Structure 1
Amino acid sequence: MTYVTRGVFAAASLLLMLLATALVVLGLREAWEGFANPDASGADAVLDVLGYVIVAIAVFDVAKYLFEDEVRRGNEKRSAAEARRSLTKFLSTIIIALFLEALVMVFKTAREDVTQMGYPTALLAASVFVLIGLGIFQRLSATVEEKVGEDDEAEDDADRVDAGKPVRRGKAGTAKT
């Protein structure tokens, strides 16, 4: 069953990467059409491409996250610190994409209809809430890491001994190989 699950995640990752690439190509094609049309604004075309690229980066990062964590690593044991770092890196990319998309929306809305600024403002607020949520997650997981960290180190030491690798202790008592 592990191979089936890994295969599904690999296929999903590949599909997401292809769709992210398609978004960039679509954005570039629409920009080209916007520049070729004398009635269209070049600034609008650039903002549209920027929006497509931002979404493509977020989709690509999701695909990379799925591939690295579910396909390449599979059921490999992960420490709490490693899981926190992985999720933080993933969410950081999403947060950056949200902020950039909100910024693009602010510029587009300001150029077209200022009365519609509530939507970009809501996206900015949502981005801030996701960032605050990430901060809370970081704080809570740091506490868990302190409690679980000692158990993880003991398991890592046992795994190293089982693999025939020597375990040495550093100054802080942490294991070194």
Structure 2
Amino acid sequence: MQKLFTYLLNSIHLFAALILIVMSLLIMGWAVYEVIASIPLKGEFIPRMLQSVGAIVISAAIIDVAQYMIEEEVFMNKELRDPREARRTLTKIIVIITIAVSIEGLVYIFKAGTENMALLIYPAWLLFVSAVLIVSLGVYQKLSATIEQEEKSKIKV
């Protein structure tokens, strides 16, 4: 019964990951279409290009999540996770999110700069949040690497 349940859960994770990949590819295709469609429109190309870059970065993050689901939940034994690998995966996802937030901030800066300067508060906060994410990631990396080194030194002794 346990094997059947494990097979069922692995199948569900695989199905969810494949759906995420298909949806990401659709987002990427739509982003490229939007850029091509905006070429003849004066003043729309750069904002659409930046929005499309943001959409593609988000799509890459979604694909990374799907890859993680397939590797960790379908193929690997869930009991034998390496903390270093978990740190790398988390780092990759946070970096992609930070890039997406930064790009979104840039898109809104261009929009606010052409429409209303009072709207610059929101993109400024987005850029601030992306900076906080980068600093937080650095602190996390430092703390987790220090803990890993301490654990390795305890094992050697």
State the TM-score bracket (shorter-chain normalisation).
0.7 to 0.9
Aligned residues: 152
The structure, 1 or 2, with the larger RCO (C-alpha pairs under 8 Å, 6+ apart) is: 2
Aligned partners of 2:33, 2:82: CA distance in 1, in Å? Answer: 44
Aligned to 1:69: 72
**Pairwise CA distance, 1:39:** 6.0
Amino acid at match of 1:47: L
Compare 66-75 and 116-125 and name the one that shifted more.
66-75
Change (3 A) 1:150 1:71: farther
Q: Which of 18, 32, 45 does residue 22 from structure 2 map onto?
A: 18
**Pairwise CA distance, 1:88:** 1.8
Is the CA contact 1:6–1:74 (under 8 Å) kept in the aligned structure 2?
Answer: no
Aligned partners of 2:57, 2:33: CA distance in 1, in Å? Answer: 16
* TM-score normalised by L of structure 2: 0.78
Aligned partners of 2:95, 2:147: CA distance in 1, in Å? Answer: 21
**Pairwise CA distance, 1:51:** 2.8
Aligned partners of 1:35, 1:25: CA distance in 2, in Å? Answer: 16
Question: Which secondary structure does the structure 1 equivalent of 2:64 belong to?
Answer: helix
Q: Which runs of 5+ in 2 are unaligned?
A: none
Q: Which of 112, 115, 140 does residue 112 from structure 1 map onto?
A: 115
Report Cα offsets for 1:62-87 as digits up to 9, x if no partner.
22222222223241512322322222
* TM-score normalised by L of structure 1: 0.71
Change (3 A) 1:87 1:51: closer
Report Cα offsets for 1:93-142 as digits up to 9, x if no partner.
22222223322332233233322111111111111222222122212212
Is the CA contact 2:54–2:100 (under 8 Å) kept in the aligned structure 1?
Answer: no
Say if 2:90 is the partner of 1:87. Answer: yes
Q: Please provide the CA RMSD for this pair.
A: 2.5
Which structure has the bigger radius of gyration? 1
Is the CA contact 1:9–1:67 (under 8 Å) kept in the aligned structure 2?
Answer: yes
Higher helix share: 2
Aligned to 1:125: 128
Runs of 4+ in 1 over 4 A off after TM superposition: none
> For residues 1-177 of structure 1, what are the structure 2 equivalents within 5 Å?
1-36=5-40, 38=41, 41-149=44-152
Report Cα offsets for 1:152-177 as digits up to 9, x if no partner.
x6xxxxxxxxxxxxxxxxxxx7xxxx
Question: Which secondary structure does the structure 2 equivalent of 1:75 belong to?
Answer: coil
